[in-house]
Structure 1
Amino acid sequence: ITVMVDDIKQINLLEEFAMKNKVEFDTLIEIDVADKLFGRNVGVYRSPIRDPEAAVKLAQIISKANNLHFRGIMGYEAQNASIGDDKALFRFAKKRSRKHVNIWRQNFVDALTKAGFQPEVVNGGGSGCFQETASETSITEIGIGSLLFKSHIFDTINSLNEFLPSLFFVIQIVRKPKENIATAFSGGYVSSGSVRAFLEEDATTTCYLYSQMKEYPE
């Protein structure tokens, strides 16, 4: 089992649990690779680890733990993975961010390696940018999520035009808070949003596709 950490409190808690249960855990340090544009954050606040020195300090703490092992880093690029290419500002932001992310991630790898912590795993990507991330020399692992089904949110990402969307997929319903609302397992697969409104040929009103669950399995 490999566990993500980005704070000393998490490391201490994980080490305490591991020692108590006589198990060992591999760990990855989550780094933040969100960009800044016009003074605003572009991406998501994934982690407080924004500079290589902070990652090295965490790796040093992990190395001193008896039941934890440092394996590498993870950096999810939300700003590159989910923004379309249909607007000039979006294209500019993605091109700028791609360059910055490549440099930032390599800086982390170089700093960790110099400190004696050669990353075995260097994770990156996201559904909408995995091809670009794969071109980085240090990358060993690429994260792809909802692109497995290619929801309509990827329609405006030019690099994904050759991929076809899935017709459907099956997931388990884990709870039903209301009669017409169901909570699905693996929520990330359905969190891409509802199907867009569509207008049938010769129709005068807009129709919306939706589903209402009547029954669900135990």
Structure 2
Amino acid sequence: MSEMALPVRVATKSRDYAYYREVLKGQHLPAAFVDLDSLDTNLATLGTRAGGAPVRLATKSIRSLPVMRHIFEAAPFMRGLLCYSAAEAAWLAGEGFDDIVVAYPSVEPVDLRAVAAQLRAGRSITLMVDCAAHVDAIDAVARAERVVFPLAIDVDMSVAFPGLHFGVYRSPIADATAALALAHHIASRAGVRLDGVMGYEGQIAGLMDRIPGARLRSAVIRYLKRRSIPQVAQRRRRVVDALAAAGFPLRFVNGGGTGSFESTRIDASITELAAGSGLYAPTLFDHYDAFRVMPAAGFALPVTRMPRPGIVTCSGGGYIASGPPDPSRLPQPWLPRGCALLANEAAGEVQTPVRHPPSVKFEIGAPMLFRHAKAGELCERFNTLLLIADGAVVDRVPTYRGAGKSFF
């Protein structure tokens, strides 16, 4: 498996079934793939939407070292990594990546010691905290390892409406007073120092504006988003301003995600954005008002049965996404167009039946193309990704799983 440098390409339109059927001819199925032409198109869109702000790459949405390297080679505005695990961050630092922020707290001593080793080697890794217990656990390892851990405070960006918590349950740090108290606690410990702040507005970045088949719900979400945007921006600014006034300089203030660039980037307190899902473009990123992305990642299952006219059955396919258990988390038939899962079976562990229109004809062994609901989670099911460019498979590269890594 190589990590060849590939030229940046831009796709002018979405690919059709005939294109991928020809590209995948002779490949072992099931197979996961990334279309580099479409990926680079999404990168260009992301750069335009960022409006000059640097973008930190969310690794959980990519989960392949060669693809991550391609992204950095193709897009100079991508700067640094936003990891989901301290152990992952230490591994990536050992693979040559730098300027790494871990987005979720970790107090596992083995993982913290691995990070400490990379800090001693000169790598930059910042850990996330949102309470004194996090700080104390990290400080204890820091003193034993004789290093100083950079820390970032995770600020809650959810919004309370009457009878509704709009957002994700992440951090208890909900205002400037709480952030200041935690910053002073960090300053009281010799093994840690404050490096940055993260305020991720998941309810804006991660929810589609127009959910198919849910017109009323979509209207409510759009309304709540509009109400949330000024509130989260004000909260983030107040935290940053209070820390500055108290003498806490910050190297970075991170915010946003693929779905919220337009609102996050106008917050003057932000120094960088974060994104990842918008590069692979899974189905949960299909219906935003402010932007469009091109499907750039998918998987192909072989058609192995034809149980009834209008129905074919594929091998594998039960790659269900995390989150609330509803149909939006199912992988969806993508190409040929017009195909659909069967409600009583959906996507199964060893087989997935699909209904297809009369105009679509299959042969046993033909590929059926699917898209995952989320981005990087697909990589937990496959050891390799086929990289496609200009009508051909140009490389086969390992996923995290293929590299023998599973962090959660």
TM-score between the two structures when normalised by the length of structure 2: 0.44
Of 172, 197, 200 in structure 2, the residue corresponding to residue 76 of structure 1 is 200
Match of 1:167 in 2: 297
Letter in 2 for 1:84: M
Residue 281 (structure 2) pairs with residue 157 (structure 1): no
Alignment gaps of 5+ in structure 2: 1-124, 211-217, 300-315, 352-380, 384-401
Match of 1:132 in 2: 263
After TM superposition, list the pairs within 5 Å mapping 1:102-117 onto structure 2: 102-117=233-248
Relative to structure 1, the CA distance from residue 198 to residue 49 in structure 2 (aligned partners, 3 Å threshold; closer, same or farther) is: same
Match of 2:134 in 1: 10
Residue 191 (structure 2) pairs with residue 67 (structure 1): yes
* CA deviation vs aligned residue, 1:145-186 (integer Å, no higher than 9, x gap): 32221111111111122x2121338xxxxxxxxxx7999xxx
Letter in 1 for 2:260: C
Relative to structure 1, the CA distance from residue 201 to residue 119 in structure 2 (aligned partners, 3 Å threshold; closer, same or farther) is: closer
* CA deviation vs aligned residue, 1:184-214 (integer Å, no higher than 9, x gap): xxx88xx9833236797798x8556667499
Contact 2:150-2:194 at 8 Å conserved across structures: yes
Residue 292 (structure 2) pairs with residue 143 (structure 1): no
Contact 2:142-2:149 at 8 Å conserved across structures: yes
Counterpart CA distance in 2 for 1:215 and 1:138 is 40
CA radius of gyration, larger in = 2
Higher relative contact order (CA 8 A, sep 6+): 2
Structure richer in strand, relative to its length: 2
Structure 1 residue 130: deviation in Å? 2.0
Contact 1:109-1:118 at 8 Å conserved across structures: no
Counterpart CA distance in 1 for 2:128 and 2:252 is 12
Counterpart CA distance in 2 for 1:199 and 1:140 is 40
Relative to structure 1, the CA distance from residue 15 to residue 202 in structure 2 (aligned partners, 3 Å threshold; closer, same or farther) is: closer
Relative to structure 1, the CA distance from residue 206 to residue 27 in structure 2 (aligned partners, 3 Å threshold; closer, same or farther) is: closer
TM-score between the two structures when normalised by the length of structure 1: 0.80
Match of 2:361 in 1: none
Of 131, 156, 164 in structure 2, the residue corresponding to residue 40 of structure 1 is 164
Backbone CA RMSD of aligned residues: 3.3
Structure 1 residue 7: deviation in Å? 0.8
Of 320, 330, 336 in structure 2, the residue corresponding to residue 194 of structure 1 is 330
Letter in 1 for 2:296: S
Corresponding residue SS for 1:53? helix
Relative to structure 1, the CA distance from residue 72 to residue 200 in structure 2 (aligned partners, 3 Å threshold; closer, same or farther) is: closer
Contact 1:26-1:69 at 8 Å conserved across structures: yes
Structure 1 residue 131: deviation in Å? 2.7
Of 224, 242, 253 in structure 2, the residue corresponding to residue 93 of structure 1 is 224
Contact 1:5-1:11 at 8 Å conserved across structures: yes
State how many pairs are aligned: 202
Structure 1 residue 22: deviation in Å? 1.0
Structure 1 residue 118: deviation in Å? 2.7
Structure 1 residue 75: deviation in Å? 1.2
Relative to structure 1, the CA distance from residue 201 to residue 63 in structure 2 (aligned partners, 3 Å threshold; closer, same or farther) is: closer
Contact 1:7-1:58 at 8 Å conserved across structures: yes
Contact 2:318-2:348 at 8 Å conserved across structures: no
* CA deviation vs aligned residue, 1:104-131 (integer Å, no higher than 9, x gap): 1001111111111132211110221123
Give structure 1 regions of 4+ aligned residues with deviation exceeding 3 angstroms: 180-183, 197-203, 205-218
Contact 2:282-2:295 at 8 Å conserved across structures: yes
* CA deviation vs aligned residue, 1:61-95 (integer Å, no higher than 9, x gap): 11122121101211111110122222221111111
Corresponding residue SS for 2:160? strand
Counterpart CA distance in 1 for 2:269 and 2:338 is 54
Relative to structure 1, the CA distance from residue 13 to residue 211 in structure 2 (aligned partners, 3 Å threshold; closer, same or farther) is: same
Letter in 1 for 2:224: A
Residue 150 (structure 2) pairs with residue 26 (structure 1): yes
Counterpart CA distance in 2 for 1:202 and 1:53 is 54
Residue 251 (structure 2) pairs with residue 120 (structure 1): yes
Alignment gaps of 5+ in structure 1: 170-179
